[in-house]
Amino acid sequence: MQKRKLGKSNLEVSALGLGCMSMSAGYGPPADKSEMIKLIRAAHDRGVTHFDTAEAYGPFANEELVGEALAPIRDKVTIATKFGFDIDIETGKRGPGTNSKPEHIKAVADACLKRLRIESIDLFYQHRVDPDVPIEDVAGAVKELIAQGKVKHFGLSEAGVQTIRRAHAVQRVTAVQSEYSLFYRGPEAELLPALEELGIGFVPFSPLGAGFLTGKIDENTKFDPTDFRNIVPRFSPEARKANMALVDLVKAVAERKGATPAQVALAWLLAQKPWIVPIPGTTKLHRLEENLGAVHVELTESDLKQIDEASSKMKLEGARLPEAALKMTGR
């Protein structure tokens, strides 16, 4: 597996990480814990060194899973987790919004360390910007945790460019995590140029468009009642039908390259910048192996140009998140 550095930091990780959320939450009922432990270890056996979780996934269940799975190989991996939602650190009961008060951040860090069975969090993201707490206070709290050795690197998730600049002035931001794929190219306008200027790495989540770019989903696909895609406008049956042209484009490139649509979608992301580290998630070993095969798919300048020209003519239907969730992004 190739390695990449997240921006100008000294944090080097596998070119593809593993997003672990779907093992516990988001895409239907939690998967079998023992099977997911095997899957996480199988990912490491195949060269993955970067694993992404959060206290909110469950809550807590995903961190506990990741902690147990990686305990035997802790010194060989990078674990990223997140704070910032209003979650009771004892009960896991969720409040209505965000909570990035410095004292809460510090309490969450201690709880994360226990659940993950580690002494220091490699990468600690603010999961969503808290409108009630100045980002300078958030960065300051993480700076203290870094000084104490409880955290190594600071990250932001779904933050706007001005917030990133203000945070970075207080404590170096190593990585920003946001949605980015051929299915959602919003970061290209402002975010990617700012990250390049500041030397910050980028970790795209939903790099396969929440599964849409794999070509395995169409307007007739039925999701589990607990799957978050049921409330995403871009996943309404009408939007899926309208957006199939993008999948057809990816499929055509994949056929020419002797690859799968998922591999082309991930290879496209890897080709955008050398400091981009996508974190596709899965609960299946054959999908994990398929995704990791993307590092061997080389898209030429001509391939990239063709994808850009064809996709730029497409108007994708539907917002990428429900309205309430969109209000929490890009601040």
Contact assessment for residue 156 and residue 187, using Cβ atoms and an 8 Å cutoff: no
Mean pLDDT of the chain, nearest integer: 98
Q: How many CB atoms lie within 10 A of CB 121?
A: 25
The predicted structure's pLDDT at residue 196: 98
CATH of the domain at 277: 3.20.20.100
The predicted structure's pLDDT at residue 71: 98
| Distance separating alpha carbons of residues 206 and 224, to the nearest angstrom | 18
Q: Is residue 331 one of the residues assigned to a domain? A: no
Asked if residue 36 is part of any domain, the answer here is yes
Quick: pLDDT tens for 163-212.
999 999 999 999 999 999 999 999 999 999 999 999 999 999 999 999 99
Q: Treating both helix axes as pointing N-terminal to C-terminal, what angle do 285-292 and 261-272 enclose, rounded to 10 degrees?
A: 40
72 domain residue, yes or no: yes
Which residues of the chain fall short of a pLDDT of 70?
Answer: none
- Give the active site residue among 27, 57, 125, 184: 57
Does residue 207 contact residue 279 with C-beta atoms inside 8 Å? yes
Residue (of 245, 232, 228, 223) closest to 312 by Cα position: 245
Per the domain annotation, does 100 fall within a domain?
A: yes
**Pairing status of strand 18-19 against strand 12-14:** unpaired
Q: Specify the number of domains making up the chain.
A: 1
- What is the pLDDT at residue 165? 98
Residue 145: the pLDDT is 99
pLDDT (0 to 100) of residue 38 = 98
* The pLDDT value given to residue 128: 98
Give the domain extent around 90. Answer: 3-326
CB 16 within 8 A of CB 278: yes
Residue 5 falls in which region: left (phi positive, over 0), alpha (psi -120 to 50) or beta? beta
Is residue 203 domain-resident? yes
d(CA 129, CA 98): 8
Note whether residue 9 is domain-resident: yes
CA separation (Å) from 131 to 134, 140, 141?
7, 16, 16
pLDDT for 281: 98
**Residue 37 in domain:** yes
Percent of the chain with pLDDT over 70: 100
User: Is residue 57 annotated as a catalytic residue, yes or no?
Assistant: yes
Residue 125 belongs to a domain: yes
Angle, vertex CA 127, rays to CA 223 and CA 279, nearest 5: 60
